[in-house]
Amino acid sequence: MPPRWRATATRLLVLLACACAVFVPRCHCVGDQGEALLRWKASLLNGTGGGGGGLDSWRASDASPCRWLGVSCDARGDVVAVTIKTVDLGGALPAASVLPLARSLKTLVLSGTNLTGAIPKELGDLAELSTLDLTKNQLTGAIPAELCRLRKLQSLALNSNSLRGAIPDAIGNLTGLTSLTLYDNELSGAIPASIGNLKKLQVLRAGGNQALKGPLPPEIGGCTDLTMLGLAETGISGSLPATIGNLKKIQTIAIYTAMLTGSIPESIGNCTELTSLYLYQNTLSGGIPPQLGQLKKLQTVLLWQNQLVGTIPPEIGNCKELVLIDLSLNELTGPIPRSFGGLPNLQQLQLSTNKLTGVIPPELSNCTSLTDIEVDNNQLTGAIGVDFPRLRNLTLFYAWQNRLTGGIPASLAQCEGLQSLDLSYNNLTGAIPRELFALQNLTKLLLLSNDLAGFIPPEIGNCTNLYRLRLNGNRLSGTIPAEIGNLKNLNFLDLGGNRLTGPLPAAMSGCDNLEFMDLHSNALTGTLPGDLPRSLQFVDVSDNRLTGVLGAGIGSLPELTKLNLGKNRISGGIPPELGSCEKLQLLDLGDNALSGGIPPELGKLPFLEISLNLSCNRLSGEIPSQFAGLDKLGCLDVSYNQLSGSLEPLARLENLVTLNISYNAFSGELPDTAFFQKLPINDIAGNHLLVVGSGGDEATRRAAISSLKLAMTVLAVVSALLLLSATYVLARSRRSDSSGAIHGAGEAWEVTLYQKLDFSVDEVVRSLTSANVIGTGSSGVVYRVGLPSGDSVAVKKMWSSDEAGAFRNEIAALGSIRHRNIVRLLGWGANRSTKLLFYTYLPNGSLSGFLHRGGVKGAAEWAPRYDIALGVAHAVAYLHHDCLPAILHGDIKAMNVLLGPRNEPYLADFGLARVLSGAVDSGSAKVDSSKPRIAGSYGYIAPEYASMQRISEKSDVYSFGVVVLEILTGRHPLDPTLPGGTHLVQWVRDHLQAKRAVAELLDPRLRGKPEAQVQEMLQVFSVAVLCIAAPRRRPAGDEGRGGAAEGDPAAGRGRRHRRRRGEGAECRRRRRRASGGRATVAGEEHAAEGRLF
């Protein structure tokens, strides 16, 4: 061919190639599998445009999909794996578009990609599939039975979605399956017996499915390769099958917080590879099988909170690898096995709250790895014979509430890492070893209610990390050492009920963080120091021998809420500077030698609501007119003084429950109110010029007074006995006096009001219309009802007459408590068909509306959010630690935090509250079984009681932590926009585990604030994280939901519904003493663990 022709031919070939490139459709380059993937990408919310994120590399112009992110191919170019993790795709799973992938796809992993909708049954056509991972999405619907056609499937992971329905019976067809993870869904029904066909199954995890019920099928014994069995926080019931002994390779059994009954089968001794046994929080009975001693690899045994009986098998001492054993909260008897001394790796021994007897075995001295010994709440006797110098790693030793005798071993001082020591409520004698105070790491020393004597050694000043010191109820003598002022971290000081003498050391002003100081019932002398720590919130120095005048310095305690100086010899006047203590709720200056007038400033204390006791002094003058402003005050006692004038300033104190004005010189007429008319005779006696009722001449009045004196003489003995009763009892009896039958709406009503309200039940019932609905709660609907006075009240109408339990709960919880951050119950009314509760009306709605409703004033600011969080924290701490008995709310959530006119928070809706009576020592309670629903609200329920319906103070703290996270992030706990459809708590945990900046979690409206505010937000965030931690690590004192802790030998530790500190029951007890014709309330502990800020 001539050269000229060859050049022309070449140009023609190039043009032809270009034409092909232009006219051949682009998608044909990636093949049918690439086209299928592109069609799926186009269906995703974030699959196209600039929002494609990780799928931006999926382009139709590519020659093959094999280089796309997350796509892998074999040598022929067929797609064998699609693996995409933590990319916000949005949208549904591929359905018909997966068919071209069926010939080759072996791995499909779409984890944390925000997928929604159902799992398409077409996935069952991917015949070559060996791995299917759709975890951490928002998938709904049932698990398609078609997936059970995937005969080559080895790993099926569907956990952390919202899947419903039953586990398909055909699951047994997947005979090649080695891993099945279904935890943290909403699956129901029973575990199918066909599970036993999965001979190769190594991992089975289905925890966190609360509706998964029925027994563990005996066929589980056919899964002979199983290494991990996780069914925690489900409704699995019945006995553990004996066939569990066939699982010779099992390493972890985690079926905690479930409904197991019966005994632990002896065959468990055949599980020789077992390292972790988690069966806590069930209803297991019978004894602990001795066969556990055959498990040589066992490291963790958590059997706490069951109904186990009998003795602890000494054979457990053969488990030489044992690191943690927790048998607490059972009914175990007999001694602690001496064989435990042969466990060289044992770190935590927790046997609290059983009925163990005998001595603390000295052989424990051989367990040199021990960090934690908890044997409290048993019946142990004898001396503490442990050789502590050998336990160099010991950080915590709790042996309170036993019958131990002898002295406190000085050798404890050689446990240099010791942080917490509680030997309270025993019969220990001797002196407190001064060597203890050389422990630089000691933070809690609790020795209450023993028979200790001697002095408080001055070496106490060396214990600079001491946070909590409680020596109440011993026979300690001598003075309070001045060195106590060196304890800069001291927060809680309780030396009451001893024989201490001398003055309060001025050096105590150095305790910069002291909040609680209880020195009652000693023989302290001198004057009250004028420069007490400004951080003090509770001060009780009653029943001592203090003299001198009360200085003006007492007004420099801005955080003070309770001050009790009663039963001393203090003289002079009441300092008006007390009016500067604006947070005062209780003030007791009774039974002193105070003189002069009552300062008007006391009438201006805005939160004085519990009690004001000025009785048994030498006060004179009139009651200040400012007392009319004490509209929250519940108890007032000014008896046995020389007061005069009118009682008119007290006439409008609508919240008064008790009032004693006896033996003064009041004159004029007794106020004509229902409350004053019903005052007992002994509470107004001794006021000769006081006119009880109107009308009549002077002779008649004098005759009435003479009759009154005679009646007082006759009733003196009876009155003295009655005054020994708690103020609460008196309050309830007087309230009942005001109850009566009022007819309204055609039926007889029983009504009790706790303050004066001007309305009729007929008016209230007529106002209960849909137009007046302002909210709904767990037990009723709430209406706004206008009163004739122009004010409004909130009226809750219970859902039905069957809600008697919730109705009683709210009255029991709120009828006798007052707190500035708890909604006030004004009264109640009931007839056969209707039950009503009357509350203070709060105009600004709920915290939920504040955070999530657009345009709310102040929602974009940090200060009001902080104040709300702080107020709720105070309310929770008050319920748990200041109430007798303690109250568990049970349903803390943003909707139940109501906001007042200045957005001040009020905790509301106590329909699920529980009063701890019999359970006070353990700090937990079982929810009333008469109510089938779960106690709490989804999103806020603590993981450890969502399925078992056991609540504890730690449950409330968890819910509080979720509320604080909601305040910080601006997101609802079940916010559907959270990545992967996860819960707010898990989203936060995932963020922290990824070591990303905490500031990224904050509500965008809070970003850009001053650095000081941001730092405060981060500090509050750290508190919230503590609150959502495992129960034992929560304040007042999980990692992951249902199954999250199943595979971690340490993760389940201490998920315990009880106090993990020695003050257990005692911190709930308020001491009530009666003397001199009056009752005083003292020793209310606002426990430091309960303070979350």
CB atoms within 10 A of CB 917: 9
CB atoms within 10 A of CB 698: 8
Q: What are the residues whose beta carbons fall under 8 Å from the beta carbon of 901, sequence distance 6 or more?
A: 843, 844
What is the gyration radius of the CA atoms in the chain, in angstroms?
35
DSSP one-letter string for 277-327: EE--SS---SPPPGGGGG-TT--EEE--SS--EEEPPGGGGG-TT--EEE-
**Token pair listed for 709:** 């004196």
Distance CA 956, CA 912 (A): 12
Q: What are the residues whose beta carbons fall under 8 Å from the beta carbon of 560, sequence distance 6 or more?
A: 536, 537, 538, 539, 581, 583, 584
Buried b or exposed e, range 1057-1089, using 16+ CB within 10 angstroms: bbbbbbbbbbbbebbbbeeebbbbbbbbbbbbb
Distance between start and end Cα atoms, the chain: 95
Judge whether 956 counts as a catalytic residue: no
Buried b or exposed e, range 858-885, using 16+ CB within 10 angstroms: bbeebebbbebbbbbbbbbbbbbbbbbe
Phi/psi at 489 (nearest 5 deg)? -95, 0
Distance CA 522, CA 501 (A): 7
| CA count, 13 A, side-chain hemisphere, 964 | 29
**Token pair listed for 323:** 């690191």
Phi/psi at 895 (nearest 5 deg)? -70, -25
Q: Which of 133, 891, 956, 990 is catalytic?
A: 891
Q: What are the residues whose beta carbons fall under 8 Å from the beta carbon of 579, sequence distance 6 or more?
A: 555, 599, 601, 602, 604, 605
Per-residue HEC secondary structure of 752-784 comes to: EECCCCCCCHHHHHHCCCHHHEEEECCCEEEEE
DSSP one-letter string for 810-841: HHHHHTT---TTBPPEEEEEE-SS-EEEEEE-
Note whether 948 and 258 are within 8 A (CB): yes
Three-state secondary structure call for residue 211: strand
| CA count, 13 A, side-chain hemisphere, 493 | 27
Binding-site residue ranges for ATP: 797
Query: Where do runs of H (alpha helix) occur along 653-803?
Result: 674-677, 698-722, 727-737, 761-766
Q: What are the residues whose beta carbons fall under 8 Å from the beta carbon of 895, sequence distance 6 or more?
A: 775, 777, 846, 847, 848, 909, 937
Distance CA 257, CA 234 (A): 7
Note whether 936 and 891 are within 8 A (CB): yes
Note whether 542 and 1080 are within 8 A (CB): yes
Distance CA 1046, CA 1052 (A): 7
Q: CA-CA distances (angstroms) from residue 489 to 471, 485, 515?
A: 17, 10, 10
**Token pair listed for 281:** 């929080």
Q: Strand order of the sheet with strand 331-334?
A: 309-311, 331-334, 355-356
User: CA nearest 268: which of 328, 319, 330?
Assistant: 319
Q: Torsion angle of alpha carbons 286, 292, 294, 296, nearest 10°?
A: 180
Q: What is the DSSP letter of 455?
A: B
Q: Which amino acid is at 914?
A: R
Give catalytic residues, as residue numbers: 891
